[in-house]
Structure 1
Amino acid sequence: MKKIIRVWDLPIRVFHWLLVLCIIGSIISVNLGGNAIEWHAYFGYSILTLLAFRIIWGFIGSKHARFASFLPNKKAILDYLQGSAPRVLGHNPVGALSVFALLFALIVQVTTGLFVDDEIAFQGPLAKYVSSSLASFLSEIHEGNQVVIYTLITIHIAAIWYYNKFKGENLIKPMISGDKEIDPSEEANYSPADLGQASKDGVLQRGFALLLLSVIAVVVGYFITK
């Protein structure tokens, strides 16, 4: 019988799929242009809210959601690339690099988006507080950073396909159910400490996460409409 371990708590799973939907909506709306740019802004504010939640949850969330549990270092990365590192329930060292890179790129995108001013159809809520030259500079970063985000997303999708195709590991299923199924024959490939640390995912934790997300949404809404 396979051992079932809760890896991703509900708040992380909801964050992940809402982020996916918001990014898709953001890409579609910005390419439609015209009046759709307003929806692009709404998706951007939503992504900002989700990122703020993820950063906080990365310090106070469940075991595998915490940044400390998958913070990569040189030795861990080299061991993993050489195939000498134990398997992990959460993000492996290379996957962790991808996660941090994508989070950083998205933070840059939403932050610069607050200062965008195309002088035609849209002005970010913070553009009025900076000079036109600085707003123009940040707008250029916002536009150029799209390439970085598209590249990281492509790598992320390719990695999911690779692990499913060549390593027989479905990375999407645990992000839906929250659980990872470990075959008894594979337990030796994992660190005993890792197998013994399932993520907490109770009602109180979920309720607190919802409260936290709501507070962040209110704060973001206040500042963008002020």
Structure 2
Amino acid sequence: MSELKCYGVWDAGIRWFHWINVLCVTALAVVGLVILNAGDLGVHNAGKVMLKTVHAWIGYVFALNLLWRIVWGFWGNRHARWRSILPGGRGYFQALRRYTAAFFSSQPEQYLGHNPIGRLSVIAMLLLMATQAVTGLVLAGTDLFQPPIGHWIAQWVAAPGVAPDSLAPYAPEMYGASAYEAMRAYRKPVAVVHLYTFYILAVIVILHVAAVIVTELREGGGIISAMFTGRKVISGCPVDEEPCKSDISS
């Protein structure tokens, strides 16, 4: 029987990002679904403004946390860095084929960091979340006149004689009709991308959670607990540990 060894894997920066992100995505999804179904739920304009304001403020935390993760990809430990996350590169596709074959065998390969399939999942989620962050910031500006573009949107749609800084959401008497219609036409494709990216992200997140559970059951190693403790307990030699790399290539 192989000896169990404890390895430090996820640093504090990664763990904080992960759990803040889980809370933000969950809260954004719940509030967003309420906004999406506000008409059926009988929510009036004042309620919509409140919900959208809450959604936007959570979105700011989400966007800043995502920006932190992007930066930490250059400064974190070796498992947090982009070279350990981005799919592709020398030997990646060979490792992907080998991992996939081993996963369905009686001897699955164990990784300290993200396995080759996990890299694909992580990058897909990061790209989708970045899309949500950018489109969400645009929508916060067009719906609520909030930063970073709300000031320019307010200047665009303010009716003659109305101070842009005084504009309020759902106050059509304060808007120039033609400018407001033009702004809504600009907003529409952004809102569509935001909505359908949410649906895709929801599916990817569900698949990600399912994959983590299945991998934990098949391979062990404490994948789930490692996001709390930062450590994995693995029997044998992980594929992405330097001595094992030497063994595989020899």
Q: Percent identity?
A: 30
TM-score normalized with structure 1 length: 0.75
Q: Which runs of 5+ in 1 are unaligned?
A: 197-226
| Deviation of the 1:153 alpha carbon | 0.5
What is the alpha-carbon distance in structure 2 between the residues aligned to residue 24 and residue 64 of structure 1?
A: 25
C-alpha change, 1:178 and 1:118, in structure 2 (3 Å) is closer
| Deviation of the 1:61 alpha carbon | 1.2
Contact in 2 for aligned 1:117/1:127 (Cα 8 Å)? yes
Contact in 1 for aligned 2:14/2:80 (Cα 8 Å)? yes
Match of 2:76 in 1: 61
Tell me how large the CA RMSD over aligned residues is: 2.6
| Deviation of the 1:66 alpha carbon | 0.3
What is the alpha-carbon distance in structure 2 between the residues aligned to residue 14 and residue 194 of structure 1?
A: 30
Match of 1:2 in 2: 4
What is the alpha-carbon distance in structure 2 between the residues aligned to residue 98 and residue 65 of structure 1?
A: 15
What is the alpha-carbon distance in structure 2 between the residues aligned to residue 4 and residue 95 of structure 1?
A: 21
Aligned residue among 30, 34, 38 for 1:32: 34
C-alpha change, 1:146 and 1:194, in structure 2 (3 Å) is farther
Deviations 1:105-160 (A, max 9, x none): 000011011111797x6455325647623322111111111111101111111112
Count residues with an aligned counterpart.
Answer: 192
C-alpha change, 1:194 and 1:150, in structure 2 (3 Å) is farther
TM-score normalized with structure 2 length: 0.69
What is the alpha-carbon distance in structure 2 between the residues aligned to residue 129 and residue 141 of structure 1?
A: 21
Secondary structure at the counterpart of residue 114 of structure 2:
coil
2:139 corresponds to 1:90: no
Match of 2:98 in 1: 79
Q: Which runs of 5+ in 2 are unaligned?
A: 36-47, 154-181, 246-250
What is the alpha-carbon distance in structure 2 between the residues aligned to residue 46 and residue 58 of structure 1?
A: 18
Larger RCO, structure (CA 8 Å, separation 6 or more)? 1
What is the alpha-carbon distance in structure 2 between the residues aligned to residue 128 and residue 76 of structure 1?
A: 49
Aligned residue among 111, 133, 136 for 2:134: 111
Counterpart amino acid of residue 95 in structure 2: A
Match of 2:22 in 1: 20
Counterpart amino acid of residue 198 in structure 2: Q
Mark the structure with the bigger radius of gyration: 2
| Deviation of the 1:169 alpha carbon | 4.3
